[in-house]
Amino acid sequence: MNLRNRRVTVPRHDPLKIGILKSIIEQAKTSQEEFVKYLEK
């Protein structure tokens, strides 16, 4: 899945709560596993 063409809203505060992170992943229409793989690149 090409995550580079997806747009989501990400808050600018740190740290992100787990619920917000899950919502971002859902908005991106991807799985948690795919999201982690993309971050590891």
Please report, in tens digits, the pLDDT of each residue of the chain (41 residues total).
Answer: 555 676 788 889 889 899 999 998 898 888 999 988 988 88
pLDDT of residue 27: 87
pLDDT of residue 4: 64
pLDDT of residue 29: 85
Contact at 8 Å (CB) between 39 and 20? no
pLDDT of residue 19: 94
Residue with tokens 């992100």: 16
pLDDT of residue 3: 55
pLDDT of residue 1: 52
